[in-house]
Chains A and B, each alone.
Chain A
C-alpha cells in the first residue's frame, strides 16, 4: 500500500465510521462480542535511556513501559528512574535523583491491522518525585566568596503529555516502537532557594513545555487469541 493511500485510509477511519456505502463492510453482530477483552500485555523498556546511561557515567536513566489493549484502545503505564550529576563553572556541582510515573489512554488508528501494529495518539498524566542539590562558590565582586550548598528534598512535579507514535511487531512476541511526546503544565519552582535544573521524566525545569522522544523494545504476553476481524463484507444477495 502506498503511503498516500495509507493516510487517506486513516482519514476515512477517523472521520467516517458510519459512512457505509452499499458495498461497504458492516459490523457482524457476533464478532462484536468480547472485542474489548484484552488480548495481551506488552512490557518493555526505553532504548535511548539505556544508550545514554551507558555513554554517560554521570547519568542513570531507566524507563519501563507496560500497556494493555482494549480493542483499538490501550491503557499505558510508564515508570522511570533518573539520577544525574552535572559539574560546571564556579566549582558548581548539581545532582538530582528521583523517579517518575505516567499513565493514560491511547487510541490506535490501525485497528484493521491483523498483527495489531499500532499508530497511536494518547494522553498522559505524569508525576515525578525527586531530590536535588547544588554546591558552588559564590562569585561576588564585593563580598567574600564562599562555598554554598543548597538543596531541595521531596519535591513533586506534575505535568501532562500528548503522545503519538508507533508500536510494531518485529518477530513473534518481540515488539518495537517509538513515542514522541509534548509535555506541558509543569511547575518551574522559581520560588525555591534552589531552582531545579532537571525534573526526572520531564527534562529541563526552566522550560514550561518540552518535546521528548523515546524508542521502546517490548515483549508481548498474550492473554488470549486475538479475535478475527469484526468487519465482514455483505455478500451479494442472489435473486
Chain B
C-alpha cells in the first residue's frame, strides 16, 4: 500500500507541467465606430457626398475629401467617454455626439493592453434618423450605426 501511495505521489509531479499557460495575443476589439448611410425612403444603403468630418474640440480633420462614401469609420477616445463629430455633407452641416464606456485590460506582458468600448449610444444628432445596431465595438462586426438621410 505504501509503495502505491508513493508511486501515485510522484506520478502527480507530471501535473506541474500543466501550470504554465499564457493567453494568446488575439485582439477582437476596435476603437472605431463603423457607420453606414441609408436612404430615409426605401431604406436601401446610400452614398453621401462628404466634404469633411472634424472632431469637436480637436484640430484634427478626420476626412477632407469631396468624395462619395457609404461607410465611414469614426474613432473613439479612451481618454474620454464621449466624442462629437461634425459632418459637412451635401445636405449641410450635421452633428453627431456619441457616448460610450471603455474597459481596459492587460492581455499579457507580451501582448500589451486591450481596450473594450461598450454601451455605445447617441448623445445628440442632426440627422433625419439614427439607429445604433451594435453597441460593443468588435473588429468582426462591420456595422455599428445606421444613419438615414
Partner of A180, one of B15, B31, B78, B79: B15
Q: Check: B43 CB closer than 8 A to any chain A CB.
A: no
Compute how far the CA of A119 lies from the CA of B60 in the bound complex, rounded to whole angstroms: 67
Instruction: Tell me the A residues contacting B by CB distance below 8 Å.
Output: 1, 3, 6, 48, 86-90, 92, 94, 110, 113, 115, 117, 119, 134, 136, 138, 140-144, 146, 148, 150, 165-166, 168, 176-178, 180, 190-197, 204, 206, 211-213, 215
Contact A142 B60 (CB under 8 A): yes
Residues from chain A with a CB closer than 8 A to the CB of B112 are 88-90, 92, 136
Instruction: Tell me the B residues contacting A by CB distance below 8 Å.
Output: 1-9, 12-13, 15-16, 18-19, 21, 23, 31, 55, 58, 60, 62, 75, 77-79, 101-113, 115-116
Residues from chain A with a CB closer than 8 A to the CB of B106 are 86, 88, 92, 94, 134, 136, 197
What are 11 pairs between A and B in contact, CB < 8 Å?
A88-B107, A88-B109, A110-B5, A113-B5, A119-B8, A148-B78, A168-B5, A178-B9, A180-B12, A194-B104, A211-B18
Given A89-B110, A113-B5, A134-B104, is A143 in contact with B16 using a C-beta cutoff of 8 Å?
no
Contact A143 B4 (CB under 8 A): no
Residues from chain A with a CB closer than 8 A to the CB of B31 are 140
Contact A143 B8 (CB under 8 A): no
Compute how far the CA of A194 lies from the CA of B77 in the bound complex, rounded to whole angstroms: 16
B77, B79, B104 pick with most chain A CB within 10 angstroms: B104
Contact A197 B105 (CB under 8 A): yes
Distance of B51 from chain A, by nearest CB (Å): 19
Distance of A13 from chain B, by nearest CB (Å): 13
Partner of A89, one of B15, B19, B75, B111: B111
Compute how far the CA of A150 lies from the CA of B77 in the bound complex, rounded to whole angstroms: 15
Q: Which residue of A lies closest to B83 (CB)?
A: A143
Compute how far the CA of A113 lies from the CA of B19 in the bound complex, rounded to whole angstroms: 30
Contact A193 B102 (CB under 8 A): yes
Compute how far the CA of A209 lies from the CA of B2 in the bound complex, rounded to whole angstroms: 34
Residues from chain B with a CB closer than 8 A to the CB of A168 are 5-6, 9
B16, B60, B110 pick with most chain A CB within 10 angstroms: B16
Distance of B135 from chain A, by nearest CB (Å): 14
Known: A88-B110, A90-B112, A194-B104. 6 other contacts (CB 8 A): A88-B106, A115-B2, A140-B75, A140-B77, A143-B58, A193-B103
Partner of B116, one of A115, A195, A204, A211: A195
Partner of B12, one of A143, A166, A204: A166
Given A90-B112, A193-B102, is A117 in contact with B5 using a C-beta cutoff of 8 Å?
yes
Contact A140 B78 (CB under 8 A): yes
Distance of A146 from chain B, by nearest CB (Å): 6
Given A115-B2, A143-B75, A211-B18, is A148 in contact with B104 using a C-beta cutoff of 8 Å?
yes
Given A48-B19, A166-B12, is A136 in contact with B113 using a C-beta cutoff of 8 Å?
yes
